[in-house]
Amino acid sequence: MVTATALTEYLNAQRERLHQWLDRLVPSETTPPDIIHRAMRYSLFAGGKRLRPILTIATGEMFDVPESWLLPTACAIEMIHTYSLIHDDLPALDNDDWRRGRPTCHKVFGEAIALLAGDALLTLAFRTLAEIPIPDAYRDRQVRAIAEIAQAAGTTEGMIGGQVLDLLTEGKPFDETMLRTIHRAKTGALITASVRVGGILGGVGPEPMRALTRYGECLGLAFQIIDDVLDVTGTPEEIGKTPGKDAVARKATYPRLYGIEASRRQAEALIGEALEAIRSLPRSERLVALAQLVLERRG
């Protein structure tokens, strides 16, 4: 059992660690051409929850993955998540002015630099992964981790595929199958990969890997359902962006299909499934606590 205080302390400590590693991995604000590095850092250090990289750290630590492999991997995942937010907010896609309580990247740096800052974060993520100083005997794990993350960020059942489906279904009728497909790809794939890479770097066998995969899938879907709910019930202060945009864009969401209460119950059931999946894994207390956190979040 991890108490609420212990979890808060753990989360804060990991956010601090991630901040230090990201600060080391991303060129400084004075490295030329400086505007692109300022734009990358503006979005990367905007105070996100860091759920994905913390999942990577918590999973990797269960299997004694060294910090020098684990933290760059976690940072690469956060870079990919941040690039996807920058591009998603562009006028050509969701056209959002606010993100994490601040003007979006393109509102501050212009569309051209925001587009390139997203490209740059995606590129730097893979450079970071490839530059991890893993001994040659474990290089296969490094290559598998890169492939895992690239697949999760891609078009076939990955993040970009989810964004495309999200666009295509705007304003159209949709059913639960379609909705689950979109949410699994758009958010679930990268969250699942965040958990799985911890296992890949730790060299775990197929059984624990199945457990981690199931945990990640359920957690990822629950996360997106709560995200949909908060878009209806949250205030701008709580969620750091403009609420109600899903309804305006007539996006495929759980609340539109089931209402708020039933959507919350589905998220709760999924978190139950996530916990069940990792019941037999040793040292899983932090993954348990992180799963419960997803249900409780207000922003």
List residues binding a copy of itself (CB under 8 A): 27, 31-33, 35-37, 40, 83, 87, 90, 92-93, 111-113, 115-116, 118-120, 122-124, 126-127, 129-131, 134, 136, 139-140, 142-144, 146-147, 150-151, 153-156, 158, 160-161, 163-165, 167-168
**Can you tell me the distance from the alpha carbon of 299 to that of 282, in angstroms, rounded to the nearest whole number?**
30
151-178 burial code (b ≥16 CB/10 A, e <16): ebbeeeebbbbbbebbeebeeeebeeeb
Q: Taking the complex as a whole, how short is the minimal distance between the CB of residue 148 and a copy of itself, in angstroms?
A: 8
Q: Taking the complex as a whole, how short is the minimal distance between the CB of residue 105 and a copy of itself, in angstroms?
A: 12
Q: What is the CA radius of gyration of the chain?
A: 18
Q: Taking the complex as a whole, how short is the minimal distance between the CB of residue 152 and a copy of itself, in angstroms?
A: 9
Q: By C-beta, is 134 or 252 nearer to a copy of itself?
A: 134
**Can you tell me the distance from the alpha carbon of 248 to that of 246, in angstroms, rounded to the nearest whole number?**
6
Q: By C-beta, is 7 or 108 nearer to a copy of itself?
A: 108
Q: Taking the complex as a whole, how short is the minimal distance between the CB of residue 99 and a copy of itself, in angstroms?
A: 17
Q: By C-beta, is 56 or 284 nearer to a copy of itself?
A: 56
Q: By C-beta, is 57 or 125 nearer to a copy of itself?
A: 125
Q: By C-beta, is 113 or 230 nearer to a copy of itself?
A: 113
Q: Taking the complex as a whole, how short is the minimal distance between the CB of residue 92 and a copy of itself, in angstroms?
A: 4
**Can you tell me the distance from the alpha carbon of 44 to that of 42, in angstroms, rounded to the nearest whole number?**
6
Q: Taking the complex as a whole, how short is the minimal distance between the CB of residue 192 and a copy of itself, in angstroms?
A: 16
Burial of 40 (0-12, 13-18, 19+ CB in 10 A): buried
Tell whether omega for the bond before 103 is within 30 degrees of 0, i.e. cis. Answer: no
Q: By C-beta, is 3 or 30 nearer to a copy of itself?
A: 30
DSSP letter string, 177-223: HHHHHHHIIIIIHHHHHHHHHHHHHTT--HHHHHHHHHHHHHHHHHH
**Can you tell me the distance from the alpha carbon of 216 to that of 273, in angstroms, rounded to the nearest whole number?**
10
